[in-house]
Structure 1
Amino acid sequence: MAELPSAELGAVVRHLRARFDEGGVKEAALDARLLVEHITATTRADAMTDPGRHVPPAQMAALLAAMERRLAGEPPYRIIGSREFYGMTLALSEGTLEPRPDTETLVDLALPRVRAAADRHGACRILDLGTGTGAVALALLREEPRAVAVATDISLDALATATRNANMSGNAGRFDVAKSNWFDDVKGSFHAIVSNPPYIPSMMISSLEREVREHDPLAALDGGPDGLAPYRMIAEGARRHLHTDGFVAVEIGYDQEEAVKAIFASQGFQLFGAAQDLSGTTRALAFG
């Protein structure tokens, strides 16, 4: 196992970046900075203004271990154990998908409608299907204090992690979890049903980047032969659990907009909202 060349902060950052460049890591500079800042409890400004700062032996050992894990393909946020999402820090676990910026588009689309429901009814009941870390539901609760949420998943590990994140974000009192395969064990009606479902076609899983296919849970990625199976399940079951003026909002793959619209239309839903990511690609749709 390689050794870090110096116990000085600036040298450590440069060494990790160089090793990541050599190892073919795409975001070598960013990943080096993320790991060094997390393990040494420093900032980017510290590395620039105080590059000679001493890094203690225990932190050097942790950095070395983190470097080797990253070179072996483990994503930086998995190594850190958490990731920022919509202004919150969310813990990760083996049973959870790593929340990504694209999913913030789903929150942006759903939030005004959650607020409108709370205005009409005094509260908004949210059902988050396949919650993972709890990211979508917890972001909505954070932004709308009149909302409450039930979050489902088939993974007990994911439900435990979502509960931990609810506690960390201060929303545990308005957040419940339930083990359910889509609507199988869901009870009651909701003003909002939200989901970031698995939407990768089965045959495409093996072509995903190593960081994704080896470290995100397969159940959170595989959307069946055409990647659309979860949308069919959601569209078929939503009416039984949706308030009369409720809505459904889902994240979609970059090329799935028309197919998902057609699936929901076949179940009597009308599209009334869409949101694009920073590249201008539609990433979330809302139906009522």
Structure 2
Amino acid sequence: MQLREILRIAAKKLKEEGFPTPFLDAEVLLSYILGVSRTFLYSHPEYVLTREEQKRYETLLMRRLLGEPVAYLVGEKEFRGRPFKVNRQVLIPRPETELLVDEALTLALHFSSGRKRIIDVGTGSGAIGVTIAAELERAWVLATDISCGALMVAQENAQRLGVRGKMDFLICKELTAISGQFHLILSNPPYIPSGEMEKLPAGVKNFEPLVALDGGKNGLDMHTKLIREAPSCLVPGGWLLLEIGGTGANMVKEIATDAGYTDIKIIRDFMGLERVIAMRKG
């Protein structure tokens, strides 16, 4: 079957099932199977797939029709222009998290020209920590997670993207278990209230790691924990930056104020939602 025809059929099936980007999904999956760019698909519509290529494509398409995210199907997701390996051990990086990285890079400039020591809590794929290590000169990043599988993915991404020498990795549940002091502590913690987990899209709740999504009764269990534990790991004037779920910012700010933090600020994302909260050790 010709490339143009198989793409047409695949996109039609995805559209009928209500997927929001049927043509893009169909193209990305076919590009992956053929090992070519999407530009190739546009310039070679007459290309005839081999029987094996068509079989592999139909298998991936069926998995997509069952709701599996494209990033897991192709094993990769772009974050700030870099390709990150992903699998079901890790949360798929979201564009909104780039805002946290932007703020961290800005705040890092407030410190002296020496090495910046940074913790990435709940690193997952390593999207935050690896990006910081790549973009911040003289950074040293400690990436932690409670999942051995996630840390393996993060280490592979650090190696692939050339920053393994600027990072260490640690299975860790408590910041209090970490020795030394750091300039920045960053995290995209779970922030979905437990009672709202069932409302998540099927592609999220059925495939992504629930431990990286469920934030407890009010969605702030991990935020509260990090706010309480971080001061022991921060240098004087060090910063804690947390991603939030578009709501709950005022509650997080109140917790931070009670814990003695200063210069608390809330940053909105491109949709106008409260997405990142930054607080300075008092």
TM-score between the two structures when normalised by the length of structure 1: 0.93
| Contact 2:27–2:41 (Cα < 8 Å) also in 1 | no
Aligned to 2:140: 148
Structure 1: gaps spanning 5 or more residues? 1-5
Amino acid of the residue matched to residue 104 of structure 1? E
Amino acid of the residue matched to residue 282 of structure 1? E
Q: From 1, 5, 12, give the equivalent of 1:11.
A: 5
Aligned to 1:165: 157
Q: CA deviation at 1:254?
A: 0.9
Q: CA deviation at 1:86?
A: 1.1
Q: CA deviation at 1:57?
A: 2.6
- Name which of structure 1's ranges 151-160 and 258-267 shifts more when overlaid on structure 2: 258-267
Q: Does 1:26 align with 2:20?
A: yes
Q: Does 1:270 align with 2:257?
A: no
Q: CA deviation at 1:102?
A: 0.9
Q: Does 1:94 align with 2:93?
A: no
Aligned to 1:59: 53
Other structure's SS at 2:19 match: coil
Q: From 115, 125, 131, give the equivalent of 1:139.
A: 131
Q: Does 1:110 align with 2:88?
A: no
Deviations 1:140-175 (A, max 9, x none): 111112101001110000011110110011000011
- For 2:91 and 2:23, the matched residues in 1 are separated by 24
Other structure's SS at 2:54 match: helix
| Contact 2:28–2:38 (Cα < 8 Å) also in 1 | no
Q: Does 1:38 align with 2:32?
A: yes
| Contact 2:176–2:233 (Cα < 8 Å) also in 1 | no
Where has structure 1 moved over 4 Å in runs of 4 or more? none
- For 1:30 and 1:152, the matched residues in 2 are separated by 34
Q: CA deviation at 1:184?
A: 4.5
Structure 2: gaps spanning 5 or more residues? none
Q: Percent identity?
A: 34
Q: Does 1:258 align with 2:253?
A: no
Aligned length: 280
| Contact 1:231–1:263 (Cα < 8 Å) also in 2 | no
Cα RMSD (Å) of the superposition?
1.3
Aligned to 1:3: none
TM-score between the two structures when normalised by the length of structure 2: 0.95
Amino acid of the residue matched to residue 16 of structure 1? A
Deviations 1:52-96 (A, max 9, x none): 022233221211110010011101111011100012111112221
- Name which of structure 1's ranges 180-189 and 8-17 shifts more when overlaid on structure 2: 180-189
